[in-house]
């Protein structure tokens, strides 16, 4: 009896509490449905391993995204600190916009947009020692 037959017989024995007299019946079913049983067991093993690989690929994708974000933010802020327009432009898209939200003096919420080109011009033309205002 090969591995698949032993596994199938053992599985049915556990499921149906079949004892030695039931093992013969299980073996008859195995002989009759051998191809189906072997293919089902093979598919089960493949799917189990595929699930493992999909989980690893998902984790790899998340790790790559995290790595890219760290590189992006490091490059962006290096460019910001050095007032280097090329470094900043290397990590942003041409049509990007920055948004600022807040409340007016009358407590009315607002949202202002600034193009990335204007932002880069402001960063590169600022004084050597800017005075930062916290809002």
Question: 14-23 pLDDT, tens per residue?
Answer: 555 544 444 4
pLDDT at 43: 75
60 pLDDT above the threshold of 70: yes
- Among 16-20, 82-86, 110-114, name the one with the lowest average pLDDT: 16-20
Q: What are phi and psi of 106, to 5 degrees?
A: -90, 10
Higher model confidence: residue 21 or residue 94? 94
- Among 19-23, 37-41, 74-78, name the one with the lowest average pLDDT: 19-23
2 pLDDT above the threshold of 70: no
Ordered DSSP codes for 60-98: HHHHHHHHHHHHHHHHHHHHHHHT-HHHHHTTS-TT-EE
Higher model confidence: residue 19 or residue 50? 50
pLDDT at 111: 93
The total of other beta-carbon atoms located within 10 Å of residue 106's CB is 5
Q: What percent of the chain has pLDDT over 90?
A: 14
- Among 56-60, 90-94, 97-101, name the one with the lowest average pLDDT: 56-60
């Amino acid at each position: 009896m090969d591995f698949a037959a032993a596994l199938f017989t053992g599985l049915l024995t556990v499921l149906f509490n079949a004892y030695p007299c039931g093992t013969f019946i299980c073996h008859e079913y195995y002989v009759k449905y051998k191809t189906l049983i072997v293919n089902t067991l093979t598919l089960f093993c493949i799917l189990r391993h595929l699930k493992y690989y999909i989980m690893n690929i998902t984790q790899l994708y998340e790790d790559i995204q995290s790595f890219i974000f760290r590189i992006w933010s490091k490059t962006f802020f290096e460019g910001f600190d050095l007032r280097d327009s090329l470094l900043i432009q290397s990590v942003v898209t041409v049509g990007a916009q920055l948004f600022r939200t807040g409340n007016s003096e009358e407590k009315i919420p607002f949202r202002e947009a600034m193009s990335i080109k204007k932002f880069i011009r402001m960063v590169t033309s600022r004084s050597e020692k800017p005075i930062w205002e916290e809002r």
